[in-house]
Amino acid sequence: MSTIAVVGAGKIGESLLSGLLHGGRGADELLFTERHPERSAELTARYGVAGVEVAEAAKRADVLVIAVKPQDIEPVLDELAPLVGPDTLVVSLCAGLPTSLYERRLAAGVPVVRVMPNTPMVVGEAMSAISAGSHATAEHLALVTELLSCVGQVIEVPETQQDAVTALSGSGPAYFFYLVEAMIDAGILLGLPRAVSEKLIIQSAVGAGKMLAETGEHPVILREAVTSPAGTTINAIRELEKHGVRAALLAAIEAARDRSEELGKAHE
């Protein structure tokens, strides 16, 4: 039985704890660290998992999952540096932070795996991309894959692609939520009650997502099947093109990629 400690049980750290418990891990196999005692007590009450200091997590864990904001990494690395050796696997969920940062700051030979997950972890539908640092072996990657498979799907990518992955699937759920929010507003504009508009759009999003995942069809084919000649959908598509929605998405995702790169460079 390996002990997994999540350092920084905020939004993504808590999602992982909850997903691992859901996936069959025992509460006694898990630990977390949080800096506010009230938050720590709240998480222990909710999940039955013990909250500990970073130093204790470093001593007890076989796998240390780092889930603090990239801006908060320095004190965490200072604290971990004298305590973590090559027997502990470090898994970083932090946007932008390269495995080389951990390798430089922690003891020689510490294996590090960089992961970019996303919040659908809470419903077992995460997309996680993993990359090995220079001391991480195929066994370490297999262990991380096994852990993350409890909370969704996992792919391996070269670390050079992680900033793009962060912009695409790490932040991706936010773009879909934003779209759903705007479409619900459109329903309000057209005079529908909010509850009706929400139901129509959320179920349409779920249905479209399932079709994408289950039919194996290209999104263009699926969209064309909705777009009847001289019908309603093509009028909407014309407006989306006129307002540059496709170009806006390309620019938005490029900006997110740039920010991920910037977060990494701040620690060079």
Ligand X SMILES: NC(=O)C1=CN([C@@H]2O[C@H](COP(=O)(O)OP(=O)(O)OC[C@H]3O[C@@H](n4cnc5c(N)ncnc54)[C@H](OP(=O)(O)O)[C@@H]3O)[C@@H](O)[C@H]2O)C=CC1
Ligand Y SMILES: O=C(O)[C@@H]1CCC=N1
67 is in an annotated binding site: yes
Question: Toward ligand Y, which CB reaches closer, 92 or 166?
Answer: 166
Query: C-alpha 163: how far from its chain's center?
Result: 13
With contact defined as beta carbons under 8 Å apart, do 103 and 81 qualify? no
> Does 95 help bind ligand Y (rule: CB under 6 A)?
yes
Q: What phi and psi values does residue 167 have, to the nearest 5 degrees? A: -70, -30
**247-266 residues near ligand Y, rule: CB under 6 A:** none
With contact defined as beta carbons under 8 Å apart, do 64 and 57 qualify? yes
Q: Characterize 241-254 residue by residue with b for buried, 16 or more Cβ atoms within 10 angstroms of its Cβ, and e for exposed.
A: eeeeeeeeeeeebe
Least separation in angstroms between residue 167's CB and ligand Y is: 8
Least separation in angstroms between residue 251's CB and ligand Y is: 17
Residue 68 binds which entry of ligand Y, ligand X, none, with Cβ cut-offs from 5 to 8 Å by kind?
Answer: ligand X
Least separation in angstroms between residue 39's CB and ligand X is: 6
88: alpha, beta or left, given left = phi > 0 and alpha = psi -120 to 50? beta
127 Cβ neighbours under 8 A, 6+ residues apart: 117, 118, 120, 152, 153, 155, 169, 172
Residue 238 binds which entry of ligand X, ligand Y, none, with Cβ cut-offs from 5 to 8 Å by kind?
Answer: none
Interface segment toward ligand Y; rule CB under 6 A; list 101-109, 130-138, 164-172, 225-233: 164-172
> Does 73 help bind ligand Y (rule: CB under 6 A)?
no
Interface segment toward ligand Y; rule CB under 6 A; list 26-34, 143-151, 165-173, 190-198: 165-173
> Does 168 help bind ligand Y (rule: CB under 6 A)?
no
120 is in an annotated binding site: no
> Does 171 help bind ligand Y (rule: CB under 6 A)?
yes
Helix (H) or strand (E) run with residue 194 in it: helix 194-215
With contact defined as beta carbons under 8 Å apart, do 63 and 2 qualify? yes
By CB under 6 A, name the binding residues for ligand Y.
95, 166, 170-171
